[in-house]
Structure 1
Amino acid sequence: MKGKIYLFLMIFFSAIVFAQKTVSGKITDEDGIAIPSASVTIEEPGKDAILAYGITNSKGEYKVTFTSAESNVDLKVKAFNQKPIIKQISNSDQTLTFKMQSEATEIKEVQLKTKMITSRGDTIAYDLKAFDSKSDRTLADVMKKIPGIEVNADGSILYQGNAINKFYVNGKDLMEGGYGTINNSLPKDAVQKVEVLENHQPVKMLQGKIPSDAAAINIKLKNSVTMTGRGEVGTGFGDPWLWNVKLTPMFFGQKSQWVANYKTNNMGEQVENEGNIIGFGSSWEGRRGNAAQNDWLNVENANTPNLPVRRYLFNNVHYLSANYLTNIDNKKEWEFKANANYTNNSVEREDNVQTVYAPTQDQAGSTITTSTRNNFYTDKLKGELIFTKNAKKGFFKNTTTFSQFWNADRAVATRVGRIGDQSLQSPTSSFQNSLSTIIPWKEKMVNLKSYINYQDDNQTLSISPANYLQLPLPYLLPKTNPTDPDQYATINFAPGTRAVQDFRIKTLDTSHSANISFTKKGWTFTPEVGFDYSTNKLNTNFDGLAVQDPLIPTVAPPDFASSLYENNLEFTEIVPSASLGINYKNDAWSLFANLPVNFNSIKAQDDVRGVSKSLSKTTFTPNAFVQYNFASFWKASLTGNISNNFGDIQTAYAGYMLLSPAGFNVMDANNPIPEINTKTAGSRIEYRNPLNNLFFNLNYRISDTKRNLLSSPVLDPTTGFTLIQYRNQDNTSTSNSFSGEIGKYFPKFKTNLSVNYRNSDTVSDAFFNNIQYESQNNNQSYGLKFNNTYFSWMSIDYNVSFSRNKQENVGLPNGGRLATNKGFNHNLAAFLYPLENHTIGFAWDQVNSSDGTRKFDNAFFDLSYQFSWAKKKIDFELKWMNIANRKVFETYDILASQNAVRYTTMQLRPSQVMFTVKFNFK
């Protein structure tokens, strides 16, 4: 691994220092008056390829940095109404001043053509019309075709493989990270261009002082005041009757913006995730995140296939959201935002699973067959109020969020001939408030941040009849070897009884900090002090009735009323901290480093279970990022960090808890508080050239993790139930990964093509049924993306990927190398336009998996016809989905931790036909 690090560092620094040259100077007209916006390009002689380019500023000054192995290069200067200059210069650093001669040209006919991709500084602009096809209707449809940009199913956007940090419309951040609704519903006809803001720092006070390695997206609309939106109303044939309704009106003005959204369907479309926060901005803005339950307890869940969600999701969803933004002062510096959404959703799911456990030294192999039918009920409400001032001379942001969940899950599970009805009730209340302000003080900046989060989770898991459970639990006798499987017995429950696990946790999490920033000559130093405090109060109880195990007559059945199955735990963590932030930015370099020292004080106390643990430890957890821009189109970066994480309340409880009907979990009261130390380093080389539409990136990442506790599951291979425990034992996990992607847009053929590759290796210590072994895992994947709109009568989108997973468990008797799991996945969408306003669509999803012996092929086909009423901008679509009426999905998985393989069949949506009317609101 060290050799790989040295090799990459050598390549990284070689790329930086090899043959970099800079040409700078000034360009004027014949009278010595500066010429702004003149272009200066560097090319290799005899080649039609631009190495680097620059644009003169208002003073006529330019600066171009390039890399070339040639002894001489061509310099070209062009400006409007000026005679172009072409001069061959030496490959060296130099200063050149040019005077351009005026050249008036009589133009008889003028044709204005918008440039497809333009670049100015850190902003790359894409003309949307250059990439769309006749079948595209929304912003997301077109953005999928833009080189360097990926759009996921939930509307989230990646640029050069990394998530964006902001999504603006006409420069305003209405959605505060939950931009999926706009991306999926904004009509393409309302958009003029898409701007990528590279190295975007969203806090205006910090621009030019605190660098950022993330990009943002700004959607520039054709009109400064726009009323628009997208709607669909559809009905379908099937059992039950199908519907699909989408209504998303939008308004974007100079002072205010709003989006209203109502979507409902029962035909497998997962619209409720559009409100999730998928862009997290800057840490200087405070904390942002999706509210989530502490879902410790679970019913047994049927598996889901690796398919587009619409193929398998049996849903009945209603999702309603509203987002509003307005300026509340004349200078338009202060903004008020109100966001709210409500979800009511029910989901059905079903599978059948055959798990084959390989024989070990102590146990014979076995095969367990299970089936699970689920009903998941989601009922949640979220409201948010945000006040923001983002100006050059001040920053303020306060976000108040309230969330309420009333979720419930149901399952009917069959295992080894036994049937169990399972139910889970899980109401949750959550309140969060995040405040961040930056106050200018002479030449300095003072930043104050405060975060408060309170959450109350109640969960009740019920299994009936209780004798569905046959769980391995320790004998209620003194144990000579707690890790010996012979010290465990399978507990039987009395017929006709019900097992109930009660759970409640109250969480208070607070974080406060203050810093002051000093800036001089591009350097910014930020000393900071902080104080974090969190407390968790856990109360649990298990109720059940066990009967005597006839095979062990000397051992009494457990008394579930005893404290062995109770928790009354309080877990408190106090972390004062001090840190120094170091930032530097100029035209070529960006540097960020944070050097924090944390004084960790942790205490876990449960008098009932005899838990009394504490930890006091000082940690140094530095992190750094450095980026170098060179030769106009290149970026190279290095990242590194050290983190120390300590156990939370999930690692401290000592009373047995039935976290799921598959088995009890418990932590040893004598085990110390977990400590996890992780060291990570990464590097990246990126090239993006909007002049020839070429983008690519290479990434390498390594990490090393050390832990003081090791998971030690005890499995009953005759039932498949498991008891999860932890050993007080040092263990390590190391991983390294390499990835790369290259993409190019060919304007002559209207084709966007990209290929990607990823390889990751992970080696970790593991423990299973009292046997320690080393788990070695290799994952490889490579894929291709292609779309073409060259022909006026056809457009094609095609994605294909291959995957390979190789697992070896070194040290497990009769285990060794497991079969290699191979996967193949492709998605084809083709549209034909035989006549004006008529579209025929064909979709083909193919998912294959293989273990070398068995092979599962899963193919799905859709066919659609669409007529467009062009004058009214209304589409009428008739679509036939899953033409082959495939009702189950088959797949194969490796269960590395259990030395087993799993064959699964999952229920799919049958063939269905939908008729839909689609329209724009304006």
Structure 2
Amino acid sequence: MKRKIYLFLMVFFSVITFAQKTVSGKITDEDGVAIPSASVTIEEPGKDAILAYGITNSKGEYKVTFTSSEPNVDLKVKAFNQKPLTKQISNSDQTLAFKLQSEATEIKEVQLKTKMITARGDTISYDLKAFDNKNDRTLADIMKKIPGIEVNADGTILYQGNAINKFYVEGKDLMEGGYGTITNSLPKDAISKLEVLENHQPVKMLQGKIPSDAAAINIRLKKSVTMTGRGEVGSGFGDPWLWNVKLTPMFFSKKQQWVVNYKTNNMGEQVENEGNILAFGSSWEGRRGNASQNNWLGVENASVPNLPVKRYLFNNVHYLSANYLTNIDSKKEWEFKANANYTNNAVERESNSVTRDFQQGTQYNTRFLNNFYTDKLKGELIFTKNAKKGFFKNTTTFSQFWNGDRAFAERNDRIGYRTGNESVQSPTSSFQNSLSTIIPWKEKMVNLKSYINYQDDRQTLEISPANYLQLPYKNLVKDTITNINFAGGSTALQDFRIRTLDTSHSANISFTAKGWTFTPEIGIDVSTDKLNTNFEGTAIPNPSITDDIPLNFNDLSYENDLTFAEITPRASITANYKSDAWNVWASLPVNFNNIKAEDAFRNVSKTLNKTTFTPNLFAQYSFASFFKASVNGNISNNFGDIQTAYAGYVLTSPSGFNVMNPKNPIPQTNTKSGGARLEYRNPLNNLFFNVGYRLSDTKNNLLASSAVNDLGFSVVEYIESENKRTNNSYYAEIGKYFPKFKTNASVTFNDTTSKSQSRRNNEDINTTNESNSLGFKFNNTYFSWMSVDFNFTKTWNKQSNGIISNDLGKTENYNHNLNVFFYPLESHTIGFYWDQINSNLGDTKLNNGFFDLSYQFSWTAKKVDFELKWMNIADKKVFERISVGDATITQTTMQLRPSQVMLSVKFNFK
């Protein structure tokens, strides 16, 4: 492995240093006046390919770094209202000044090679018309075809493999990271162009002072005042009757923006996650995150296939959201935002599994039928000032959940056939407030941040009849395991409540010296968790159970009354450096950790007082105009939380108890990670690629030890034993757009090796996982009568740990998605869709193919589409999959949506 790392680093740094030459100087007009924004390009003689380019600054100065094996290169200068200049120069470091002659021109900006992609500084602009096809209707449809940009299944937008940090429409962040609604519903006809803002620092006060390596997306509209949006109404044949309604009107102006969104369907489309926060901005803006519950308890869940959600989701969802932004001062520096969404969703799920336990030589069958009910409300108020001379942002968020889960479980094992009804009720209330302000003080900046979060979670898990359970009990003193038998007809009940208060307050001051920006900071984090749990049930006396094992659950072993408090004063200094070539960032924090866990029931008190140093380093070097090379590394420490500190039994699932040993110390986790990355993005010839390496090493002082009986029920205990996890990953991606063929193609590759330790039935398990994946994406709109979108992923996995051998743990998976659209006549479209998912384990081969067909008529004058779509033509009822665990192999059959036909009307609001 070390040899691979050294080889990678040698290649990595040799690319950086090989034959680089730099040309710099100044561009002026005939009178000697500096010319800003002039383009300077370097090309090899006789070749239509730009090696590197630069743009002059306000003083007319330029600097271009390039790599070429030719003895001479062509230098070309272009500027507004100036005559272009071309000069052949030697391939060497030199300083050259040029005077341009005046010449009238109508060119508004310097277009580099092609109008479909233009570059100006750190902004790359895409003309979406160059990438769309006749069947595309929204921004999301086109964005998936743009080189260098990817859209994940959850809606996250990636640029060069990394998530964006902001999503703007006309420079305004209406959605505050929850941009899925706009990308899925903004009509392409309303868009002028899409801009990628590289190295984007969202806080204006910090631009040019605190660098960023993240990119943002900005959407430019055709009109300064735009009323638009997308709607769809559909009905279908099936059991039950199918419907699909989407109504998303939008309004954008210089002062106000709003989006209202209502979506409902029962035909398998997942719309409730559109409001999830996908871009988190800068830490200088305060804290933001998706509200979530502390879900400790859960019913047994049916498995989910690795298919597009529309293939298996039996849902009945209503999702309503509203986002509003307005400027509240004459200078348009202050913004007020109000965001709210409500979700009501019911989901059904079913699966059957056969599990073989190779450690115990047993086999058992299970069947789970689920009903999941989601009922949640979220509201948010945001006040923001983002100006060159001041920053303020306060975000207040309230969330309420009224969720409930149900399960009907069947088991067939050596004891016989058993059934159980399971339910979880889980109401949650959450309140958050995040405040951040930056105040200018002479040449310095003072940043004050405050965060408060209070959350109250309640959960009740009920299993009836209780004798469905065959739970093991582990005697922590004698290290023996005995099954607990429950009385027939009785009910098992697990109660849970946790109240959490998290606060974080900090102050820092930033000052600049010799190109560096230094930010010393002090702060304090305080969190308190209060946990109460209780388990109730009726056990049958068992002669094999010794007297010191409880036969009723009033014993303290099944209750928890735990207070977990953590106080962490901290001090740090952050250093930033930004130049034309370098972007360096280093954070050097020292944390004074003070943790105390107290359990009044057991008279247990644990404490930890430890000082930690957790540096985080990043350095990026830009060269030859199109290349960026970067390295990063960090050390982090985590001292566990209340979920790893309690000492009593908790039935987290009907499949088994979790328990912590009261003698264990506070959990400690130390992680060291690092990576190197090389990027190339050339908008001049539509070529993008990145290649990199990541490694991480994690050490823990507690080890998960599971006692699993031959029926698959378990008790999981954490024992004091040092263990580690390592992960090494190589990755690469290359994408190219071919204008002549109207084709975009990209290839991705990933190689990952991970090692981990665990313990199962007193046997140490050292697991090695090796995984390789190859991906390919292709779309073509060359023919006027047809367009093609195709992507596939092939993965190879090998797991070995002494129980699961190399042959048993070797799996292969393949999946592809093919969409072909035919345009036989004007306004008519025929679509063919093919999803294929294959998996192999030894001689077992499972092939799953799905086919859809659609016909669409477009009423062009009214911008209305009528679509008839037949989904799952083969009426495939189930999906099969094989999965490998530490000591088990499970073959699962999952229920799918049947064949269905939908008639839809799709339209733009304006």
- TM class by smaller structure: over 0.9
> Could you give the per-residue CA deviations for residues 82-109 of structure 1, whole angstroms, max 9, x where no partner exists?
55433221222211122334567999xx
CA contact (8 A) 1:230 1:249 kept: yes
CA contact (8 A) 1:491 1:557 kept: no
| Letter of the 2:259 counterpart | V
Match of residue 227 from structure 1: 227
Q: Does 1:791 align with 2:783?
A: yes
SS for the counterpart of 1:612 is strand
Q: Does 1:908 align with 2:904?
A: no
Match of residue 146 from structure 1: 146
Match of residue 760 from structure 2: 768
**TM-superposed deviation, 1:242:** 0.2
Q: Alignment partner for residue 491 of structure 2, among 495, 498, 506? A: 498
| Letter of the 2:609 counterpart | S
Match of residue 188 from structure 1: 188
Q: Does 1:379 align with 2:379?
A: no
Match of residue 313 from structure 2: 313
Q: Alignment partner for residue 886 of structure 1, among 876, 881, 887? A: 876
What is the alpha-carbon distance in structure 1 between the residues aligned to residue 806 and residue 578 of structure 2? 52
Q: Alignment partner for residue 584 of structure 2, among 591, 602, 619? A: 591
**TM-superposed deviation, 1:559:** 1.6
What is the alpha-carbon distance in structure 2 between the residues aligned to residue 237 and residue 53 of structure 1? 58
**TM-superposed deviation, 1:74:** 1.9
What is the alpha-carbon distance in structure 2 between the residues aligned to residue 3 and residue 809 of structure 1? 24
SS for the counterpart of 1:670 is coil
Match of residue 516 from structure 2: 523
Relative to structure 1, the CA distance from residue 549 to residue 223 in structure 2 (aligned partners, 3 Å threshold; closer, same or farther) is same
Q: Does 1:603 align with 2:603?
A: no
**TM-superposed deviation, 1:19:** 2.2
Match of residue 753 from structure 1: 745
> Could you give the per-residue CA deviations for residues 339-385 of structure 1, whole angstroms, max 9, x where no partner exists?
00000000000000111111x4xx4x011100000000000000000
SS for the counterpart of 2:142 is helix
What is the alpha-carbon distance in structure 2 between the residues aligned to residue 570 and residue 188 of structure 1? 54
SS for the counterpart of 1:175 is coil
What is the alpha-carbon distance in structure 2 between the residues aligned to residue 573 and residue 724 of structure 1? 25
SS for the counterpart of 2:664 is coil
1:454-473 alignment to 2 at 5 Å?
454-473=454-473
Q: Does 1:856 align with 2:846?
A: yes
**TM-superposed deviation, 1:156:** 2.0
Match of residue 40 from structure 2: 40
Relative to structure 1, the CA distance from residue 101 to residue 834 in structure 2 (aligned partners, 3 Å threshold; closer, same or farther) is same
Q: Does 1:728 align with 2:720?
A: yes
SS for the counterpart of 1:396 is strand
| Letter of the 1:597 counterpart | V
Q: Alignment partner for residue 869 of structure 1, among 859, 862, 880? A: 859
Single out whichever of 608-617 and 244-253 deviates more from structure 2: 608-617
**TM-superposed deviation, 1:153:** 3.3
> Could you give the per-residue CA deviations for residues 806-846 of structure 1, whole angstroms, max 9, x where no partner exists?
00104x4x856633111000000111000000000010000
What is the alpha-carbon distance in structure 2 between the residues aligned to residue 441 and residue 69 of structure 1? 51
Match of residue 642 from structure 1: 635
What is the alpha-carbon distance in structure 2 between the residues aligned to residue 30 and residue 430 of structure 1? 67
CA contact (8 A) 2:569 2:592 kept: yes
Question: Normalized against structure 2, the TM-score is what?
Answer: 0.97
Relative to structure 1, the CA distance from residue 649 to residue 552 in structure 2 (aligned partners, 3 Å threshold; closer, same or farther) is closer
> Could you give the per-residue CA deviations for residues 608-636 of structure 1, whole angstroms, max 9, x where no partner exists?
02321110000000001111110000000
CA contact (8 A) 1:166 1:202 kept: yes
> Could you give the per-residue CA deviations for residues 442-495 of structure 1, whole angstroms, max 9, x where no partner exists?
0000000000000000000000000000101035xx844x2xxxx111111000
Match of residue 562 from structure 2: 569
Match of residue 449 from structure 1: 449
Match of residue 274 from structure 1: 274
What is the alpha-carbon distance in structure 2 between the residues aligned to residue 801 and residue 816 of structure 1? 23
What is the alpha-carbon distance in structure 2 between the residues aligned to residue 214 and residue 511 of structure 1? 25
1:787-826 alignment to 2 at 5 Å?
787-810=779-802, 812=803, 818-826=808-816
> Could you give the per-residue CA deviations for residues 194-222 of structure 1, whole angstroms, max 9, x where no partner exists?
00000100000111111111100000001
CA contact (8 A) 2:112 2:118 kept: no
Match of residue 13 from structure 2: 13
Match of residue 159 from structure 2: 159
**TM-superposed deviation, 1:879:** 0.3
Relative to structure 1, the CA distance from residue 330 to residue 492 in structure 2 (aligned partners, 3 Å threshold; closer, same or farther) is same
| Letter of the 1:474 counterpart | K
Match of residue 287 from structure 2: 287
Single out whichever of 247-256 and 548-557 deviates more from structure 2: 548-557
What is the alpha-carbon distance in structure 1 between the residues aligned to residue 147 and residue 797 of structure 2? 29
1:384-533 alignment to 2 at 5 Å?
384-416=380-412, 417-475=417-475, 479-480=477-478, 482=479, 487-533=480-526
What is the alpha-carbon distance in structure 1 between the residues aligned to residue 483 and residue 81 of structure 2? 90
> Could you give the per-residue CA deviations for residues 867-903 of structure 1, whole angstroms, max 9, x where no partner exists?
000000000000000000001000111112xx11010
Q: Does 1:539 align with 2:527?
A: no
> Could you give the per-residue CA deviations for residues 47-77 of structure 1, whole angstroms, max 9, x where no partner exists?
3321101233454432211122333222122
What is the alpha-carbon distance in structure 1 between the residues aligned to residue 679 and residue 95 of structure 2? 28
**TM-superposed deviation, 1:21:** 1.8
Single out whichever of 178-187 and 10-19 deviates more from structure 2: 10-19
Match of residue 649 from structure 2: 656
What is the alpha-carbon distance in structure 1 between the residues aligned to residue 596 and residue 897 of structure 2? 50
CA contact (8 A) 1:625 1:640 kept: yes
What is the alpha-carbon distance in structure 1 between the residues aligned to residue 379 and residue 702 of structure 2? 40
**TM-superposed deviation, 1:26:** 2.5
SS for the counterpart of 2:273 is helix
| Letter of the 2:308 counterpart | P
Relative to structure 1, the CA distance from residue 422 to residue 133 in structure 2 (aligned partners, 3 Å threshold; closer, same or farther) is same
Single out whichever of 557-566 and 725-734 deviates more from structure 2: 557-566
Single out whichever of 40-49 and 571-580 deviates more from structure 2: 40-49
What is the alpha-carbon distance in structure 1 between the residues aligned to residue 544 and residue 668 of structure 2? 40
CA contact (8 A) 1:155 1:181 kept: no
**TM-superposed deviation, 1:675:** 0.5
**TM-superposed deviation, 1:36:** 4.3
Q: Alignment partner for residue 694 of structure 2, among 701, 713, 728? A: 701
Match of residue 241 from structure 2: 241
Percent of counterpart pairs with the same letter?
74
Relative to structure 1, the CA distance from residue 837 to residue 655 in structure 2 (aligned partners, 3 Å threshold; closer, same or farther) is same
Single out whichever of 522-531 and 49-58 deviates more from structure 2: 49-58
Q: Does 1:744 align with 2:736?
A: yes
Relative to structure 1, the CA distance from residue 671 to residue 50 in structure 2 (aligned partners, 3 Å threshold; closer, same or farther) is same
**TM-superposed deviation, 1:33:** 4.5
SS for the counterpart of 2:274 is helix
Question: Normalized against structure 1, the TM-score is what?
Answer: 0.96
Relative to structure 1, the CA distance from residue 106 to residue 76 in structure 2 (aligned partners, 3 Å threshold; closer, same or farther) is closer
Single out whichever of 688-697 and 761-770 deviates more from structure 2: 761-770
Relative to structure 1, the CA distance from residue 535 to residue 552 in structure 2 (aligned partners, 3 Å threshold; closer, same or farther) is closer
What is the alpha-carbon distance in structure 2 between the residues aligned to residue 524 and residue 554 of structure 1? 68
**TM-superposed deviation, 1:765:** 1.9
SS for the counterpart of 1:724 is strand
CA contact (8 A) 2:592 2:612 kept: yes
**TM-superposed deviation, 1:24:** 1.6
What is the alpha-carbon distance in structure 2 between the residues aligned to residue 550 and residue 650 of structure 1? 34
What is the alpha-carbon distance in structure 2 between the residues aligned to residue 606 and residue 27 of structure 1? 74
SS for the counterpart of 2:140 is helix
| Letter of the 1:372 counterpart | F
What is the alpha-carbon distance in structure 2 between the residues aligned to residue 326 and residue 823 of structure 1? 49
CA contact (8 A) 1:70 1:91 kept: yes
What is the alpha-carbon distance in structure 1 between the residues aligned to residue 226 and residue 743 of structure 2? 31
What is the alpha-carbon distance in structure 2 between the residues aligned to residue 567 and residue 880 of structure 1? 54
Gaps of 5+ in 1: none
What is the alpha-carbon distance in structure 1 between the residues aligned to residue 225 and residue 566 of structure 2? 50
SS for the counterpart of 2:233 is strand
CA contact (8 A) 2:82 2:105 kept: no
Relative to structure 1, the CA distance from residue 540 to residue 552 in structure 2 (aligned partners, 3 Å threshold; closer, same or farther) is closer
CA contact (8 A) 1:114 1:127 kept: no
